[in-house]
Amino acid sequence: MGQTASSHTVVRIAPGLYRFDTGYLRAGHTAVYIVVDEGRAAIIDTGVPHNVEPLLEALNTLGVAYVGVDWVIPTHVHLDHAGGAGGLMQALPQAQLGVHPSGAEHLIDPSRLETGVRALYGDAFFDREYAPVSPVASDRVVSLPDQTTLYVANRALEIIYTPGHAWNHISVFDPVSSTLIVGDAFGAGYPSFGEAGAPYVVPVVPPPQFSPDAYYASLERIVALAPAQVAPAHFPLIEDVAGTAKRLAAMLAAGLRKASEAESPADLELRLLAEWALWLPAGVSDADYRAAYGKDIWLTAEGMWRWHSKQQAK
């Protein structure tokens, strides 16, 4: 995939905490977070294989040696978040890869991930955006229980299980900055949609592991943690945590109602586009909305349709 240097900005979002733009699909779409303390670092999410070299360059910019990276932590094993894990671990000789126990096997042997993503997106998309996906050596993979505490030099990071988007989803809490790095557990939003600290976000719930009950419970857990800010993988920072969680829950509930009315995944996609447009900030054009959020809503329609079909079959 062609990327420009401007696609890979590194922004300080709190003391010792940085957001790296992977450039996946477009600038301002998918982020990786880097925690730095006393020359040591943890990388949370990896992006895709194409962004590994720019991410390593970002470490150089931050003054972190490759041997100074202690942890690589994918929030979950979807390839826009973990596809670069194999290549990144090959370049970081001292790092351990920390992951939810049910995600470890997929990074040690990513063949099933590849098969599933090719089936969902098609070979052309996979080859352009994700290939090659490399395995991670099993002796470098650490399964992380809920509420595990990891350290980057003297800085503690807490692992919080946040399933719903995927069963193997974790979030990482940085108490120093009171920032919760949430991957896809708190919706997806993009620059210029909504206000600073309270962006427009939509639930993203792809097949095959979407669970409404788990998603709602994760929203509640995030609100109860009361972080000063939430840092999603997609993309603007969220400071109105309780208000955003309330909107996400309402949008998810509305989407599930639409799933019970729809005749096909394509029909559900159209219904979701219309339903969730009701939450859009004033002045956003339909074309801009569809361009930014169309892929997320297509993916969510697929996930909701599969979940609803399973409920009907019981």
The reported pTM is 0.95
- State how far the Cα of 187 lies from the Cα of 240, in Å rounded to an integer: 13
Which sign does the torsion angle of CA 232, 236, 241, 247 carry?
A: negative
Query: Residues 165-199: pLDDT tens digits?
Result: 999 999 999 999 999 999 999 999 999 999 999 99
- Class level of CATH domain 5-240: alpha beta
**DSSP 8-state secondary structure symbol assigned to residue 197:** B
Sheet holding 179-183, edge to edge: 149-152, 155-161, 170-174, 179-183, 229-232
Give the per-residue pLDDT at 312. Answer: 87
Q: Which of 167, 174, 115, 132 is nearest to 149 (CA)?
A: 174
SS3 label, residue 58: helix
Residue ranges of the chain with pLDDT lower than 70?
1-7
- State how far the Cα of 250 lies from the Cα of 41, in Å rounded to an integer: 37
Give the per-residue pLDDT at 5. Answer: 40
Work out the number of other CB atoms within 10 angstroms of the CB of residue 44. Answer: 27
Give the rounded distance of the alpha carbon of 37 from its chain centre: 23
Q: Let me know how long the chain is.
A: 314
Q: What residue segments make up the domains of the chain, in order of their start? A: 5-240
Give the per-residue pLDDT at 213. Answer: 96
Q: Which of 130, 125, 169, 152 is nearest to 52 (CA)?
A: 130
- State how far the Cα of 116 lies from the Cα of 199, in Å rounded to an integer: 31
Give the per-residue pLDDT at 123. Answer: 96
